[in-house]
Amino acid sequence: MSWPMIRLALIATLFVFAPLQGWADVYPLDTEAIGKAPKKHGVYRLYRQSELIYIGKAVAQSVTIHRQLGEHMRGDAGACTQSATHYNYEVRHNIVSMHRLYLEHYRATHGKLPKCNSPLQ
């Protein structure tokens, strides 16, 4: 089995067998819900109704999930993510690697990235 296939198998295992803190709950992307979002680093997902449109990360020192969600809601991050209606999140320590794995998993299962994500670099 090639390394890319092994990596995809590991990603699939992660999604099937590893319950992720915060992913099960989905919140409306509004001022009240964002006010309760964690002021911590992590990975988050934005939805337009039931469609996943963006997988994001809050990793820089002053950047938190709470702050990022507010920027998306106000349109500071662009019109695409401003159209989001719901979100969920996961507080993590290995943010960059998990963010990339989630994007790779989405691309492997859907043939493309979420609508509002840029191509992987």
54: enclosing H helix or E strand: strand 51-58
Tell me: the pLDDT tens digits for 13-31? 444 434 444 456 899 999 9
pLDDT at residue number 93: 83
Tell me: the pLDDT tens digits for 26-62? Answer: 999 999 999 999 999 999 999 999 899 999 999 988 9
Does residue 1 lie in a domain region?
A: no
pLDDT band for 5, please (50, 70, 90 cuts).
Answer: low
Determine the average pLDDT of the residues in 5-12: 53
In a domain, residue 89? The reply is: yes
In a domain, 82, yes or no: yes
The Cα–Cα gap between 34 and 37 comes to: 5
At 20 the pLDDT is: 42
Taking each continuous run of H as one helix and of E as one strand, the counts in the chain are 5, 4
Assess if residue 118 is contained within a domain: no
CA 60, CA 29: separation in Å to the nearest integer? 22
- Average pLDDT in the 96-100 region? 94
Residue 30 lies in a domain: yes
Single-letter code of the amino acid located at 104: E
> How many folded domains does the chain comprise?
1
Token pair 């990235």 is found at 113
What is the domain-level CATH number for residue 55? 3.40.1440
Please state the length of the chain: 121
Which phi and psi (to 5°) does residue 52 adopt? -70, 120
Give Cα separations from 44 to 24, 26, 97, 115 (angstroms): 12, 11, 13, 15
Asked, for residue 103, whether it belongs to a domain, the answer is: yes
**Does the residue 63 lie in any domain?**
yes
Give the burial class of 23: count Cβ atoms within 10 A of its Cβ; 0-12 exposed, 13-18 middle, 19 or more buried: middle
Q: Tell me which residue range forms the domain holding 77.
A: 21-110
In a domain, 31, yes or no: yes
